[in-house]
Amino acid sequence: IIFDKALSNLEKLYLKNDFKKCEEQIKSAISSNRYHYIFALGQKPIIKSIYIELVGCSNETSFQTNFNYAALLEYLSGSGYKVKTSSNAGNYLCNHVYFHGLKEIYLNSYKTHMIFIHTPYLKNISDTKHLANTFSNFFLSL
């Protein structure tokens, strides 16, 4: 809810907690809207840093983000957050969404730039409003 309020100026898509349905949702959203940017957010247990995911993988196939993640890394770090890059978006829905989103973008040569960001669980973030506003300010600056 805190992220919703801070990101109220951005269009949002809430994905179903189902592999097939979320895959269909992300493909449909990308193909019908031709977004310039897609920012996918997920929570990762046990982590204390923000992770900028660089790759979505499935079996032997992977797609790398085409987003300028260095600018995001610098912005978040400059805002006081501990940020890392990762080439492992996990093996559950986060990676599934990321892989299929990047795949849709690459196979159709869309100009869309997609990034997936893992945050710690919200209960482990000391100031969720500040983090939400930091994300919002970065996203809206593009």
- Given this model, what pLDDT does residue 51 score? 96
pTM of the model: 0.90
Do the beta carbons of residue 42 and residue 135 sit within 8 Å?
Answer: no
Read off the pLDDT of each residue in 87-102 and give the average, rounded to a whole number.
Answer: 94
pLDDT digits (tens, 9 = 90+) for 4-41: 666 777 788 888 999 999 999 999 999 987 788 999 99
For the chain, the average pLDDT equals 90
Do the beta carbons of residue 76 and residue 50 sit within 8 Å?
Answer: yes
- Given this model, what pLDDT does residue 69 score? 96
CA atoms within 13 A on the CB side of 39: 20
DSSP calls for 47-109: --SEEEE-EEEETTEEEE--S-HHHHHHHHHHTT--EEEES---SSHHHHHHHHHHHHHHHTT
> Which has more confidence, 82 or 5?
82
| 2 pLDDT above the threshold of 60 | no
Residue partners of 111: CB distance under 8 A and separation at least 6: 34, 36
Q: What are the tokens at 140? A: 């809206």
pLDDT digits (tens, 9 = 90+) for 109-129: 999 999 999 999 888 888 888
